[in-house]
Structure 1
Amino acid sequence: MDFVRDVCAEDALEENLRFVSDALDGKCTPREIIRNYFLKDFYKDHCSTHQKRPIYWMLDFGKKNGFKCLIYMHRYQPDLLVRVRTNYVHEQQERYRTQLAHLEEAVAQVDISQRVKLNKQIKKLNDQLAETITFGEKIHHLAEQMIAIGLRDKRDRFRHLYH
């Protein structure tokens, strides 16, 4: 959404988001439609368009959507994985921990029907947090190597990190 806000005038943001979401044929709010597209379909469409030689890579670890990150291959630098881990993976872990703390406080103060709903959210967040911790450990090993790669071999070096 920040990209659309930066490119378009602030007063036209919602109209532009609606235009994009209408092209994607979703049944939620424009923001949810666009978010779901990037989470589920963008990378598949991108690979299809670029005949399995994408210029964007999706770093993705797990089925719980704990963390996903698109990387533009032409901007790759040896310290990129360090920056992804430090600036994004760790921050996402902290967001999960904060949300969990709030939900766990709320569980003690609600009735049983609400408690079931909150416990489901807590389980999902715990699963996502566990996924990001595992991903952080995996990417840490690669980040320490500060791998410099050429455009031809970039995809092959990181095949195990993305789909």
Structure 2
Amino acid sequence: MDYTSLFSDRPDTARLWIYIAQHDVSADTQRVVHDALASFFGAWDSHGRPVSADMAWREDRFLFVTAHVETEDASISGCATDALVHAVDEATQNLAWAPALSVSYRDAEGSVAVTDRTTFARLARAHTVDSTTSVFDPSLSTLADLHNGAFEQPAGTTWHARAFPLAHPA
């Protein structure tokens, strides 16, 4: 999937938060979360400056939230970031997010899978995943990173290549 055009109407300097659900999220649940966050976005501010924000679901797993303040100092305060975290937590209280140290990747069928690092290492040793397996990086913090293609990459070009015994297919 191409993530490079997501939020193309927003500045590349906009902040980005990526949440990965442990399991697929139904369309109904996605709508409920969207509506709750849209309500929050309408009143969100950072030290009295309105925050312009948007969100999108992709592949029934990924919740992307982007935001920026339209002033010279476009940073979003820590208090405003905390408010977003609380709003997401409240809107998604029935969802299980992938643990911070998990590995998200595209399985052989092309679906998004989430597993712990020990299991991913076992999959690498069994050649179920290899250097060409797409992995996802939820640590991106700006839209520039997303627009530059850093979210989904072959495991062989990421930190995964150093951490796991990834084979290089012939």
Give me the TM-score of the superposition, normalised by structure 2.
0.26
Higher helix share: 1
Which structure shows the higher strand fraction? 2
Q: TM-score with structure 1 length normalisation?
A: 0.27
